[in-house]
Structure 1
Amino acid sequence: MTGTVTQVQHRITIDLDQPQEFTDLVGRTRKVHAVRIEYGLSPLAHRVDVVVEYADSAALIPPAADIPAWMQSLIDQYKPDGPACALR
């Protein structure tokens, strides 16, 4: 059987040793306890989706949000070297 791979995903969850502050688009500053990062690779786009987990809820960070340095460091550190296979 044959097929065409159209997307490869790499998802990680990082439980932070010390909660970090994050200010969302509406100006609320809260302590982040964990970060979920999903790297999506497809022929059309290379995407990174980030979810911050608070003590009592979680929220997807919109693409227009400012990413703090501590979070960008995690995104860069765990970014996969490349797709698991060649996409066409």
Structure 2
Amino acid sequence: MTATVRQVQHRITLELDTPQPFTDLVGRTRKVMAVRIEYGLSSIADRVDVVVEYADSAALVPPVADIPNWMQALIAEHKPAGPTYRLT
């Protein structure tokens, strides 16, 4: 039997030692306690979804949001190596 890989996912949750500030699209700045990052490699696009967890709630970071440097560094640091095969 043969098969073609259509999508590969990698999800991590990072508890932050020091809560970091994040300003959402409506201008609220809150301390982020944890970050969930889901990397999805598919034949359509490389996709990264980020959820910030506060002390009392969580929110998806919209693709149009400004990503602070500390969050960009976490995303880059934990990004898995791409598959060694061609996705179709």
Separation (CA, whole Å) in 2 of partners of 1:83 and 1:17: 31
Number of positions where the alignment pairs a residue of Structure 1 with one of Structure 2: 88
The Cα of 1:85 is off from its aligned counterpart by 4.6
Q: Residue 28 of structure 1 aligns to which amino acid in structure 2?
A: R
Alignment of 1:36-51 (within 5 A): 36-51=36-51
Q: CA RMSD in A?
A: 1.2
Which ranges in structure 2 are unaligned for 5 or more consecutive residues?
A: none
Contact in 2 for aligned 1:10/1:80 (Cα 8 Å)? yes
Segments ≥4 residues shifted beyond 2 Å: 1-4, 83-86
Which ranges in structure 1 are unaligned for 5 or more consecutive residues?
A: none
| TM-score, scaled to structure 2 | 0.93
Q: Report sequence identity in percent.
A: 75
CA gap of 1:11–1:84, structure 2 versus 1, over 3 A, is farther
Secondary structure of the equivalent of 1:4? coil
Separation (CA, whole Å) in 1 of partners of 2:69 and 2:55: 21
Deviations 1:33-80 (A, max 9, x none): 000000000111000000000000000000000000000000000011
Secondary structure of the equivalent of 2:55? coil
The Cα of 1:2 is off from its aligned counterpart by 3.2
